[in-house]
Each structure stands twice: as C-alpha cells, then as structure tokens.
Amino acid sequence: MKDPVEPFVGVDFGATNIRAGLVDGEGRILRRAHSGTYASEGKEKVISRIVKLVRDLGQNDRMEVGIACPGPVDGSKGIIFDPPNLPGWKKVHLKEELQDELGTRVSVENDANMVTYGEWMFGAGKGVRNLLCLTLGSGVGSGLVLNGSLYTGANGFAAELGHTIVELKGPQCRCGARGCLESLVGAKSIVAEVESAIASGHETILTQGSGEMTVSRISSAAAKGDSFSVKILEKAGFYVGVAVSNAVALLDVEMVVVGGGISKAGPLIIDPIRKAISSNLISFSLRALKVVRSQLGDDAGILGISAYSRVSGALK
Amino acid sequence: MKDPVEPFVGVDFGATNIRAGLVDGEGRILRRAHSGTYASEGKEKVISRIVKLVRDLGQNDRMEVGIACPGPVDGSKGIIFDPPNLPGWKKVHLKEELQDELGTRVSVENDANMVTYGEWMFGAGKGVRNLLCLTLGSGVGSGLVLNGSLYTGANGFAAELGHTIVELKGPQCRCGARGCLESLVGAKSIVAEVESAIASGHETILTQGSGEMTVSRISSAAAKGDSFSVKILEKAGFYVGVAVSNAVALLDVEMVVVGGGISKAGPLIIDPIRKAISSNLISFSLRALKVVRSQLGDDAGILGISAYSRVSGALK
C-alpha cells in the first residue's frame, strides 16, 4: 500500500490537450505541465509527450502515475480500444508501455469517469450519492456515481450518454448509429450547423469578427444577446435535456453536473436543459433533481484520476 | 429477525389481476390465490380483495406479507403515488392500511423491480451481476440489478425504461411526454395500430376470428406466418431495441431479460430486439450482451417480493 501523503501524478489526455499535475492527498495541484496532443503524429510520439510531461513534474519511481484518457478503456488491464477520438489507437496497452518507461505503477482509466470522480470528490457533486456528470466538448463524455461509488459496468464501458439515441433519424455518428446525443451536440456538429445557417443567410453577429468558428464564440455571441446564437444553445440544451431525462428515468440520480466548453454559457445552456427535463421526465415533480454547472473545469480529470488511482491502488 | 423457514405471502397486483402465493424459503409457491383487480370499483374494494386473498392462503399474524404493485412507490414508507395504471390512487399508504388490517409486517414495492428480483434470484438472471429486466404488457415495466444489488435510485423511482423517449415526435404518453417506449409498444398502442391498419384495409388473418384484439392474438397470427403481424412485432422489437441500446450504453449490463405478454412470441420479438441493439449500441462487438426471455412468467412478481421482503426484513 502506498503512503497516502506521497504526491501523485495525474495526467488527463484527449484528442487536443495533454494536461498533467502533481497532486497531493487533499486534492491540491502542486505543479502543472501541459502540451498539445498532436494525435495525428501517431501513438509513439504522443506517449513520449506524456512521459516528458510526467518527468517535467519531477516524477520519480516512488511516485505513481494515473492516466485519464478517451474510452473505451479496460481499466483493470490499462488497455485503450480504438477511441473515436484517437484514430489508430487500436488495443494499445498504455499501462504496460508507460510502466516500462517510467518504472512505477501506472493506472489508466476512462477520462469521462475520472472527470466525474473529480467533481464528486472535490467539486459540484461532493457528498451526493447518485449523480450523472456530463462533459460537453468535441465529444460528449459522461460518468455515473451510483449508490456512492463510481459505476463502470460489466466491461467498464458504462455511462456513454453521448451515444444514446435522441433523434432516430438524426445525423450519422462516428459510433455507427444515427442521432446519438454526440452527433447532435458535439462541438463539430454545432459549428457545422452554425456555418451552414450563416452560409444560407441567417443574421447573426457571428459574421462579424474573423477566425475559426467555435462553440466558445457562439456562447459569447449569445451572452451579447445575439438571438441566432441563443437559439443554437437552446436547441443543444433541448437535446441534452432529453438524453438526461432518459438517464434520470432509468437511474433516478439526485444531481446532474454539466461541464465542458458549452457549459461556460451558464444559464443560456443550463436553463434549456432544465426546461427539457421538466417537460420530459416522468414523476419530475416528485423528485428534487439538481442540474448544476461543474466546478473544477479542466482540473477535474487530473484530480479525479489522482484520487481514484490512490483509492484503487490502496485496495490492491 | 424473521425465522427464515416461515412461509411468506407474496402478492403481485396490477391494473387487471391480483395474484397471491404462499412461498417457502427456497422460492417454491406452496399455494396460490387469484382474483381480478376491478380497479374501477375503487381503492377500498381492491384492498379488501387483497386482504381476502391473503387470508384464503391461510395467512396468520406470524406470516409476513409483501405486495408488488404499480409504481411510483416509496418502498421505505410503503406509499403508492398515483400510478398511471391505477387512477385515483393518489398517495395511498398501502403498507399502513394493510398492516392494520392483517396484524403483521407488510412491505410494499414496485412490481417491475420485484419481477426483476424474482428473475435474478430464481429465473433467467440467476448469478448475473448487472442486468436489465423488462416486462412488456399494457405498460412497460423494468428493473435493474447493478453490481449485484437491486438498484432503485435516490427516490425509489429508478428503471423507468418505459418512460424513456425513443421517438421525439411520437404519440402522447399518459406520463405527459411524447414518444416514450410505453407510448409506442404498450399493448394498447399496438392494438390501436393494428385496428387502424385493418380499418384502412391491410390484409391479415387477424380479420378472421372474432373477439377482442390482443397482443396475444397478434403473436399467434405472426407464428402462423401472417406477414402483417410479423411486421407489427418487428416494429415493436425495433423500438424496444433502441430503448435497450440506450440503457446498455449507460449501464453496460451483461444481460437483458424480456418478459410480459409479447415475449411469448419468442424469436419473432426477440430477434428484432437483438437486431436493433446490434446496429445502435456503441462498442457492441466488444461486449458479450445476452438478450433472453424471462423464465418465471406470471410467478416472477410473487417470488420476487417474497424473497426481497425476506432479505430486507432480515436487515431491519
């Protein structure tokens, strides 16, 4: 068993960023390191970048390392199975590869689950027994705490809210199905919808300014009262709310935590989510469901993997 | 704590039937009693019928009684909250009323959860750690076993797969939303669809024979090769399969148990369910998901409530 006061290295890596932090036992980040992922340069380069960041933080072979990465992941073996976000990562034994390289115990877990664990231990969900946590970004990540434990399912593939179907004849999703929540509200879909509406002449202040269209620009425009952008957020919130209603009908959680880029729009996205839930969820009035914004932002994954690996390491 | 060999009285009551059984500690039904519910005659008459059936089984004040009834139910207090299936049952303290009448401890639980518990303890789901159990009848009931325990959620309202939304612009459901699974595949909806298709001239052997149209008649016609009836079951199976895909994407269960009237059609309904799951569920090929028929039929609720009440009583 690990000395509980020994610092721990948490790494949260996705299609775009690798974020690492040296975390103490109380969930404080003592030091940080960051790099782009540049996933297109291939798996070996990405793994070298992770190793470099971990060493930059002063990691030594007494310091354990936890990696939060895109799923599907088999956490018990530390294998990544071909995530839609990381083309070419077919059955990568990341745990083994990093253990050999770093000379210490490494754990590898699904990033959406680790964000959930972080928000539950240190953030918006502290003390809540049953919660659903969403990360609305280029993908839609989600995680579940049920009966006071992180719930990962029979194969570790649980909590794929982004790949539940909301609109049967909706857009093709990269998972193979049509009309999944991610195909409707993933950042790419929202941006594509906005660009096509602009091309067909919709009036919006988004046509002013230059540079790449992003969800963050759309949120800022909505905050300035741009009615086109407000409607885009309302539509996204409606779809998220329907998917969340379905999840709550099944799981009767007490809290839904909403994070990721679009959540920075605050009530402009949270209110439409709440509205769709209240009109679609059975027995809504008998529940006291809370829908709140995440509190930890980009630190949730680093804090989550550190705390979770500490606990699961101590149990081994 | 109760002597574990004392027989237990289990009652499963719904909108149509009240079924009661005297159950031993090994899950054998020693004696049975049955009556229609006649819910339209009012709550007091229905409660008298339950009391009479329980006494007909030879219940005495040492024998505890468990009631499986339509939800929403607060199992800890034994209160029924206005089930769509039992009009007029607003906040009925069934546990208290029956305890006063019968002079013994009474427990009251959601029927779909008790069917699930029965199939898990004694039927198709024996030994499975994570399962979803469906009862396709006039309503769509469902229950969940997660991490080897019955999962009931924060308010006891979990596992409402029947009220998850499958078709956003679908039919109005009595829960208030549109396009819930129940609004699409509840027995009444299927029968209404068939009657309207027949009225508009569709060819089917269902026009031969007389008497009320039922799901059971449709299933028999499908078994005889009636292509109209086969298509009706395929469509119902598709919707069930989509809802199940969503549930498995969230919960990563190993097994789905399908029961209720329409499940008697066997592969004619199970195969379309499997097909819809395999084309809609993320990471389908990485799982070993089993979709099977229930084994206990109408006894599942009686066996479930008896076993569950025994265990939860012993813990008190």
Cβ neighbours around B7 below 10 Å, total: 21
Comparing alpha-carbon positions, the chain A residue that sits nearest to B83 is A283
Mutation for testing the B interface, residue in A116, A150, A245, A250 having most B CBs under 10 Å: A250
| ipTM for this model | 0.93
Which residues is A255 bridged to in the sheet? A131, A290
The band of B2, judged by pLDDT with boundaries at 50, 70 and 90, is very low
Q: What is the pLDDT of residues B154-175, one digit of tens each?
A: 998 999 999 999 999 999 998 8
| Domains present along chain B, CATH in parentheses | 8-114+299-314 (3.30.420.40), 127-295 (3.30.420.40)
Contacts of A245 in chain B (CB under 8 A): 164-165, 177
Contacts of B254 in chain A (CB under 8 A): 154
Mean pLDDT confidence for B263-286: 94
- The beta-carbon neighbor of A158 closest among B163, B165, B250 is B250
Q: What is the pLDDT of residues B73-119, one digit of tens each?
A: 888 899 998 887 788 898 999 999 999 999 999 999 999 999 999 99
- The beta-carbon neighbor of A249 closest among B151, B152, B164 is B164
Q: Is the pLDDT of residue B4 over 60?
A: no
Exposed, middle or buried, B199 (CB in 10 Å: 0-12/13-18/19+)? exposed
Mean pLDDT of chain B: 93
Touching check for B156 and chain A: CB below 8 Å? yes
Compute the count of residue pairs across chains A and B with CB atoms less than 8 Å apart: 139
- Nearest chain A Cα distance for residue B103, angstroms: 31
The band of B1, judged by pLDDT with boundaries at 50, 70 and 90, is very low
DSSP assigned state of B210: -
Please tell me whether the peptide bond between B84 and the residue prior to it is cis, using omega within 30 degrees of 0: no
Q: What is the pTM of this model?
A: 0.94
Three-class SS of B28-61: CEEEEEEEECCHHHCHHHHHHHHHHHHHHCCCCC
For every one of its 316 residues, what pLDDT tens digit does chain A have, with 9 covering 90 and above?
A: 445 567 899 999 988 899 999 999 888 999 999 999 998 898 999 999 999 999 999 888 788 999 999 888 888 899 998 887 788 898 999 999 999 999 999 999 999 999 999 999 999 999 999 999 999 998 899 999 999 999 999 998 999 999 999 999 999 998 899 999 999 999 999 999 999 999 999 999 999 978 899 999 999 999 999 999 999 999 999 999 999 999 999 999 999 999 999 999 999 999 999 999 999 999 888 889 999 999 999 999 999 999 999 888 765 5
Touching check for B82 and chain A: CB below 8 Å? no
| Radius of gyration of chain A, Cα coordinates, nearest whole angstrom | 20
Kindly state the tokens that stand for A225: 């009262």
Kindly state the tokens that stand for A275: 């509205």
The CA-atom distances, in angstroms, between A186 and each of A85, A258, B99, B267 are 12, 14, 53, 37
Mutation for testing the B interface, residue in A145, A280, A287 having most B CBs under 10 Å: A280
Touching check for B172 and chain A: CB below 8 Å? no
The CA-atom distances, in angstroms, between B231 and each of A47, B123, B207, B237 are 52, 30, 16, 10
b (16+ CB within 10 A) / e for A124-152:
bbeebbbbbbbbbbbbbbbbbbbeeebbb
Q: Tokens 């237990």 map to which residue?
A: B8
- Nearest chain B Cα distance for residue A29, angstroms: 31
